[in-house]
């Protein structure tokens, strides 16, 4: 198995009228407009707070803002599309009005939410369920020709951390991506990003095996997004709560970048930008 550390070859994503160059890793800033997300639930559900946080993330270097109206933390229940739309559409409209051509992603498992979010200005779908909860979401990505984040999850948010088991987690996640990306191409999804789904139906050991072997997933030939920000993959090792997991997040981000991560999905944009700069300089020293 090739253990070379690298940034992946030049790739671009079309986000509406913009092209995002991934030859240097990009940052997706998390904007949860939920009352119950594991780290920042309730902080940005009001429009003024969402606008302020978005401005902070954009100034710090976020290329994409990912808006989520439903918590997917372990044990979370799936809410209705209607409730989710009540949370996300006013924020989407406000962000487009204030920030213009901002690149917005909609974090949802519902096709109705994805469709309406795109019609209100979103240019990307981030689906933690890979279409298992609502298979029509794949059709929406194909119809509107927006990038689609395909994430691996064992089970669903309500059950995913109840004794997850694999014979070989790296091989099984790799085979999942190989099969699903072929299906997406046949459906007409022309831009896809893969996400190993850290913390979604994995033990701590599973998560670190995936991290250690992240470079293997470049064989799929698609950009890789990672979402480990302040998660239990860090908290359980360091015996800290999410509020005290920033340093651990930065350390793991560095390791994932060395393994070829293309997009970091984060709560803390400025710190993510700094680790990208440091790892970039580290890699460039050997050129």
Q: Looking at the annotation, which residues are catalytic?
A: 231, 265
Alpha-carbon gap, residue 242 to 168, rounded angstroms: 28
Q: Is the separation of the CB atoms in 7 and 283 below 8 Å?
A: yes
Residue pair 155/185 in contact (Cβ under 8 Å)? The answer is no
Which residue from 269, 191, 197, 248 is spatially nearest to 226, judged by alpha carbons?
197
Of the candidates 122, 265, 104, 111, the residue with the CA atom closest to the CA atom of residue 199? 265
Cβ partners under 8 Å of residue 280, min gap 6: 7, 24
How far is residue 29's CA from residue 58's CA, in Å, rounded to a whole number?
8
Nearest in space to 252 (alpha carbons), one of 275, 284, 268: 275
Q: Residue for token digits 């119809």?
A: 143
Residue 255, both tokens: 């390791």
Angle at 258 between CA 1 and CA 287, to 5 degrees: 95
DSSP class of 46: S
């Amino acid at each position: 198995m090739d253990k070379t550390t690298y940034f992946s070859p030049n790739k671009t994503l079309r986000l509406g009228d913009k092209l995002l160059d991934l030859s240097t890793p990009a940052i997706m800033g998390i904007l949860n407009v939920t009352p119950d997300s594991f780290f920042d639930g309730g902080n940005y559900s009001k429009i003024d707070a969402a606008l302020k946080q978005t401005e902070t993330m954009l100034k710090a270097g976020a290329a994409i803002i990912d808006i989520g109206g439903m918590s997917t933390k372990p044990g979370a229940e799936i809410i209705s599309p209607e409730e989710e739309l009540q949370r996300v559409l006013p924020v989407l409209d406000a962000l487009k009005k204030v920030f213009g051509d901002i690149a917005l992603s909609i974090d949802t498992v519902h096709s109705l939410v994805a469709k309406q979010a795109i019609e209100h200005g979103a240019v990307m779908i981030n689906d933690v369920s890979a279409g298992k909860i609502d298979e029509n979401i794949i059709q929406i990505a194909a119809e509107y020709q927006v990038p689609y984040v395909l994430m691996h999850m064992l089970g669903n948010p309500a059950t995913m951390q109840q004794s997850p088991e694999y014979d070989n987690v790296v091989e099984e996640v790799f085979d999942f991506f190989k099969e699903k990306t072929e299906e997406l191409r046949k459906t007409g999804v022309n831009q896809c990003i893969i996400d190993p789904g850290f913390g979604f139906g994995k033990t701590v050991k599973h998560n670190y095996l995936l991290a250690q072997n992240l470079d293997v997933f470049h064989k799929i030939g698609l950009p890789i997004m990672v979402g480990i920000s302040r998660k239990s993959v860090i908290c359980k090792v360091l015996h800290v709560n999410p509020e005290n997991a920033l340093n651990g997040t930065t350390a793991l981000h560095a390791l994932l970048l060395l393994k070829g991560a293309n997009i970091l999905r984060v709560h803390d944009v400025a710190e993510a930008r700094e680790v990208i700069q440091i790892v970039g300089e580290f890699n460039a020293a050997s050129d």
